[in-house]
Chain A
Amino acid sequence: MDPAWIDAALTSVRPRAVAALLRYFRDIDMAEEAFQEACLRALAKWPEQGPPRDAAGWLILVGRNSGIDRLRRTGREEELSDDLPASVADDEEAALVDRLDESAYRDDILRLLFVCCHPDLPATGSIALALRIVCGLSVPRIASAFLVGEKAMEQRITRAKARIAEAGVPFETPGPVERAERLGAVMAMVYLVFNEGYSAAGDDRGAREPLCREAIRLARLLLKLFPAEPEVLGLAALMLLQHARGAARLDAQGKAVLLDDQDRTRWDRASIAEGLALIDKAIRHRRSGPYQVQAAIAALHARAATAAETDWAQIERLYATLEQMQPSPVVTLNRAVAVGKLSGPAAALALLAPLGARLDGYFYYHGARGAFLDQLGRAAEAREAFTRAIGLAGSAAEAAYIRQQLDRLVAVE
């Protein structure tokens, strides 16, 4: 039996197994340790015996038994929850799996993810915790993705766990309203994980890109739990469509390449096809939402064979819809870009004018303004805007792109 296969299998069942163990032990550390123990057992047994019929069920059972043993050894039996079934032998696996029906799994996994996005935690703490506990990424890998030292990351995760232990894990089975609220928080966290990876550029990209893959994996997991939830379909579609453009977003020198200038043959067609299939499914429900609208915008870009064929009128309408759902100056800025394509730079600048106060510290605002001013031939103002943008650039790739615009302006004069 291929060790790589066992590794992949352990990773794929991890969220489900850790989630069930969290329900039993009501403690993240215990659930994690129990799962680790079960994995060690699997690595010892599966190569000879072959994998069990239900890998998740096997790991839950073995992990649960090892956790109970640990509690007994330390005389902490009273900490066991009522949910914990009486100890059974490994060969009763099938019976146990029958008792763990799908709806319990669903709430288990949702709870595990929801615990990671506790409101007391800073966003970075949530993401790190989810990557460690749910995705099973090692601390060094998470640390390199966040560009911090291993020790600092270890502390960040420990602090996050302590916060959650203080606050208490919500164990009751959620009602429909609560379930929807949890799902909303979890989706936001998954998209944050994605953006941590997606916003990376240059040298960081290699270390952070796996975060995009993890986020997509989490979205697929959510989709299996909530197959008919259009916003989950929208979120998964949005990330697949954005991720498809990953390879084309930077040039050989690591400089950011604007959507209009990207080599579309480098877009990942399989990822685009899957994203489009999911957004088609979402739209059938006729219950729109912000993720679906953003995915629909990404889909219009993906469907355009060349930048010139982009349906900017439809994109402008979708941004207007998004503005109503989630009013934000950043959304308006995006709409202004679409307006610029449709009605010219003067109309776009007019739309940007009232945003100045709120977006003054935002790289893309000054970058877009500079581009519109440049198109109108107002070179001095354009240069001023681009200079502001450079000062706010979040990465070397962004700064390099703006510097190129500045150089061009100087050359024209």
Chain B
Amino acid sequence: MLYAILCYDNEEVVGGWSAETEAAVMDRLGKVQEGLAARGKLGPVARLMPTTAATTVRKGAEPLVLDGPFAETKEQLLGFYIVDCETLDEALQVATDLGRASGSAGAHEVRPLMLYRPGSAGAG
């Protein structure tokens, strides 16, 4: 079974770390990741930019593009895509197309990645 592990924390606290703290935390996390990778258990690892870099596309007949992260609590996180786009507009178009195809309600939050490492788990 493949599992997604979603990281939640206070971005203002994390964003306020000094360069040394940041490096120390990344180093500790890197060690855990290396162990997983060596056993072929690590899939993609991604770190998101702060929510201030997010744009949200509300699904609907007339999709609505809003600055900022997805903020409602009535819906739950059901999945995610990682897409490689040249521009924000291209990424928003992808989100709009996906929203149309799903035909359902809800939204897609488009958030640039700060870090991305493709992994190998699940490849076989």
A-side residues, CB < 8 A to B, are 5, 8-9, 11-13, 213, 217, 220, 223-224, 227-228, 233, 236, 270, 273-274, 277-278, 280-281, 284
Q: Which of the candidate stretches B37-45, B48-56, B76-84, B95-103 sits at the interface with the other chain?
A: B48-56
Instruction: For the complex formed, measure the closest distance between the CB of A3 and the CB atoms of chain B, giving whole angstroms.
Output: 13
Q: Does B62 contact A (CB under 8 A)?
A: no
With A and B bound together, what is the CA distance between A236 and B50 in angstroms?
12
Instruction: For the complex formed, measure the closest distance between the CB of B26 and the CB atoms of chain A, giving whole angstroms.
Output: 11
- Among residues of A, the one whose C-beta sits closest to the C-beta of B55 is A281
- For the complex of A and B, the 3 pairs showing the least CB-CB separation, nearest first, are A12-B12, A227-B68, A280-B88
Contacting residues, chain B, for A273 (C-beta < 8 A): 49, 112, 114
With A and B bound together, what is the CA distance between A11 and B66 in angstroms?
29
A8-B13, A11-B16, A277-B112 given; name 11 further pairs at CB < 8 Å.
A9-B10, A12-B16, A13-B12, A220-B12, A223-B52, A227-B68, A228-B66, A228-B67, A228-B68, A273-B49, A277-B53
Q: How large is the interface on B (under 10, 10 to 19, 20 to 34, 35 or more residues)?
A: 20 to 34
Contacting residues, chain B, for A224 (C-beta < 8 A): 51-52, 68
Q: Does B104 contact A (CB under 8 A)?
A: no
A-B contact pairs, 26 of them (CB 8 A): A8-B13, A8-B17, A9-B10, A12-B10, A13-B12, A213-B16, A217-B15, A220-B12, A220-B50, A224-B51, A224-B52, A224-B68, A227-B52, A227-B66, A227-B67, A228-B66, A270-B114, A273-B114, A274-B112, A277-B53, A277-B88, A277-B112, A278-B53, A280-B87, A281-B53, A281-B67
Instruction: Point out the residue from B17, B51, B53, B88 that lies within 8 Å of A284, measured CB to CB.
Output: B88
Contact flags B93-124 to A (C-beta < 8 A → 1, else 0): 00000000000000000001011000000000
Instruction: For the complex formed, measure the closest distance between the CB of B84 and the CB atoms of chain A, giving whole angstroms.
Output: 14
- Among residues of B, the one whose C-beta sits closest to the C-beta of A217 is B16
Contacting residues, chain B, for A233 (C-beta < 8 A): 67
Q: A228-B66, A280-B88, A284-B89 are in contact. Are A236 and B52 (CB under 8 A)?
A: yes
With A and B bound together, what is the CA distance between A278 and B89 in angstroms?
13
- Among residues of B, the one whose C-beta sits closest to the C-beta of A279 is B88
Contacting residues, chain B, for A228 (C-beta < 8 A): 66-68
- Among residues of B, the one whose C-beta sits closest to the C-beta of A268 is B19
Contacting residues, chain B, for A236 (C-beta < 8 A): 52
With A and B bound together, what is the CA distance between A228 and B52 in angstroms?
10
CB of A278 within 8 A of CB of B52, answer yes
With A and B bound together, what is the CA distance between A279 and B65 in angstroms?
16
Contacting residues, chain A, for B16 (C-beta < 8 A): 8, 11-12, 213, 217
CB of A281 within 8 A of CB of B88, answer yes
CB of A274 within 8 A of CB of B114, answer yes
Contacting residues, chain B, for A213 (C-beta < 8 A): 16
Instruction: For the complex formed, measure the closest distance between the CB of B30 and the CB atoms of chain A, giving whole angstroms.
Output: 15
Contacting residues, chain A, for B49 (C-beta < 8 A): 273-274, 277
Contacting residues, chain B, for A5 (C-beta < 8 A): 13
Instruction: For the complex formed, measure the closest distance between the CB of A94 and the CB atoms of chain B, giving whole angstroms.
Output: 15
Contacting residues, chain B, for A277 (C-beta < 8 A): 49, 53, 88, 112
Contacting residues, chain B, for A284 (C-beta < 8 A): 55, 65, 88-89
Instruction: For the complex formed, measure the closest distance between the CB of A308 and the CB atoms of chain B, giving whole angstroms.
Output: 23
Instruction: For the complex formed, measure the closest distance between the CB of A350 and the CB atoms of chain B, giving whole angstroms.
Output: 38
The residue among A213, A220, A228 with the most chain B CB atoms within 10 A of its own CB is A220
With A and B bound together, what is the CA distance between A277 and B88 in angstroms?
8
Contacting residues, chain B, for A13 (C-beta < 8 A): 12
Instruction: For the complex formed, measure the closest distance between the CB of B98 and the CB atoms of chain A, giving whole angstroms.
Output: 19
With A and B bound together, what is the CA distance between A281 and B69 in angstroms?
13
Contact flags B1-33 to A (C-beta < 8 A → 1, else 0): 000000000101101110000000000000000
Contacting residues, chain B, for A217 (C-beta < 8 A): 12, 15-16
Contacting residues, chain A, for B65 (C-beta < 8 A): 284
CB of B66 within 8 A of CB of A274, answer no
With A and B bound together, what is the CA distance between A120 and B19 in angstroms?
37
With A and B bound together, what is the CA distance between A9 and B17 in angstroms?
11
Contacting residues, chain A, for B17 (C-beta < 8 A): 8
CB of B53 within 8 A of CB of A274, answer yes
With A and B bound together, what is the CA distance between A137 and B52 in angstroms?
24
Contacting residues, chain A, for B53 (C-beta < 8 A): 274, 277-278, 281
Instruction: For the complex formed, measure the closest distance between the CB of A296 and the CB atoms of chain B, giving whole angstroms.
Output: 14
Contacting residues, chain B, for A280 (C-beta < 8 A): 87-88
- Among residues of B, the one whose C-beta sits closest to the C-beta of A229 is B67
